[in-house]
Amino acid sequence: MTTAKDIMHSGARWIPAHETLDRAAQLMREHNVGALPVSANGDSDRMVGIITDRDIVVGCVAKGHDPSKVTAGDLAQGTPRWIEAGADVNAVLEE
């Protein structure tokens, strides 16, 4: 049986909700990723959403907003879902 742990990896880089979008873009470039989980302010273990490079471009820059003044929390989207590491991979797909 393949478990969630078998396909997971550690070391995902998070960004706090209070950080600006220009900082988010810098982190994405530094870590060669196109998205970052957004953590609750003051609680680095609680995910409140995710932000993508496209969110920054379409949701901020293309609307004429300054990415140094808009925060990751302002654009964080999604409803975080959790699953136990030992769960069968089929349960992951169902979530």
pLDDT at 60: 96
Most confident of 3-7, 10-14, 63-67: 63-67
Mean pLDDT along residues 47-74 = 96
What's CA 89's distance to the chain center, in Å? 22
| Per-residue pLDDT tens digits for 21-56 | 999 999 999 999 999 999 987 766 788 999 999 999
Q: Where are the domains of the chain?
A: 4-94
Helices (H), 1-95: 4-7, 21-31, 53-59, 72-75, 89-94
CATH superfamily of 4-94: CBS-domain (3.10.580.10)
Cβ atoms of 51 and 36 within 8 Å: the answer is: yes
Note if the pTM is more than 0.75: yes
Q: Tell me how far apart the alpha carbons of residues 44 and 9 are, in angstroms, rounded to a whole number.
A: 18
